[in-house]
């Protein structure tokens, strides 16, 4: 399956994007191993997260509409934000992936979602922090933080992404803010879900 996905990607995304995708797969596996998440699922979700990244805006909109997805005003203005949802559609239709946890991780890798699974957190972080994004002090610190605490990583990575969007005067999707607040509350809560899992 992996070889088939890579061959499909080689025909549908430029080399720089394929390098990013393989970096996301690698980092997703690393984060999954650090946090007791299924590495095979992390690998598959990482490899498939950007299947629709280079689809034209109209194709993204029409595929999302055909699936009955709700398209909000920010997504209408910036259709590229739909590539995550559409990548999950391609994963199902092209590669027969029906594992809802994997599909959800693909869907949520760009904007996140409050209450998302650990696997979704892993892929969300890997997308922003994989090696080809660079080695600035901020990114190095975020990688280190994420290996130790997924929720703190999600919170601070949302802050980092929103800082960039504010600086470049781009639209910020409300779900990114909701994801940030959710992760912040979990990271700073005395009843941290990961601690509860470890003590169970």
Residue 87, Cβ density class (10 Å: 0-12 exposed, 13-18 middle, ≥19 buried)? buried
Sign of the CA dihedral running 60, 77, 114, 44: positive
2-199 is a CATH 1.10.3210.10 domain: yes
Q: What is the pTM of this model?
A: 0.92
Which of 78, 90, 4 minimizes the C-alpha distance to 49? Answer: 90
- All residues at 6 or more sequence positions from 152 whose CB lies less than 8 Å from its CB, including other chains: 145, 146, 183, 187
Vertex 17 angle, CA 41 and 173, to 5°: 75
pLDDT of residue 97: 97
Query: Left, alpha or beta for 71 (phi > 0: left; psi -120 to 50: alpha)?
Result: beta
Q: What is the pLDDT along the chain (200 residues), one digit of tens a residue?
A: 999 999 999 999 999 999 999 999 999 999 999 999 999 999 999 999 999 999 999 999 999 999 999 999 999 999 999 999 999 999 999 999 999 999 999 999 999 999 999 999 999 999 999 999 999 999 999 999 999 999 999 999 999 999 999 999 999 999 999 999 999 999 998 655 555 455 44
Q: Which residues contact 67 (CB under 8 A, 6 or more apart)?
A: 85, 89
pLDDT at 200: 44
- The DSSP letter of residue 169 is T
């Amino acid at each position: 399956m992996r070889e088939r996905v890579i061959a499909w990607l080689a025909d549908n995304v430029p080399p720089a994007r394929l390098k990013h995708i393989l970096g996301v797969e690698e980092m997703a596996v690393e984060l999954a191993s650090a946090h007791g998440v299924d590495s095979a699922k992390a690998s598959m979700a990482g490899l498939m997260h950007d299947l629709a990244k280079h689809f034209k805006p109209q194709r993204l909109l029409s595929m999302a509409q055909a699936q009955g997805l709700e398209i909000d005003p920010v997504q209408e203005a910036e259709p590229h934000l739909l590539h995550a949802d559409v990548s999950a559609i391609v994963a199902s239709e092209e590669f027969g992936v029906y594992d809802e946890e994997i599909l959800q991780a693909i869907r949520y890798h760009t904007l996140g979602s409050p209450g998302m699974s650990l696997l979704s957190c892993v892929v969300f972080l890997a997308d922003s922090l994989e090696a080809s994004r660079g080695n600035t002090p901020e990114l190095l610190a975020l990688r280190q933080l994420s290996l130790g605490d997924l929720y703190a990583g999600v919170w601070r990575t949302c802050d980092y992404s929103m800082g960039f969007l504010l600086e470049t005067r781009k639209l910020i999707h409300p779900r990114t803010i909701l994801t940030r607040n959710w992760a912040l509350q979990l990271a700073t809560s005395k009843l941290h879900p990961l601690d509860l899992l470890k003590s169970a």
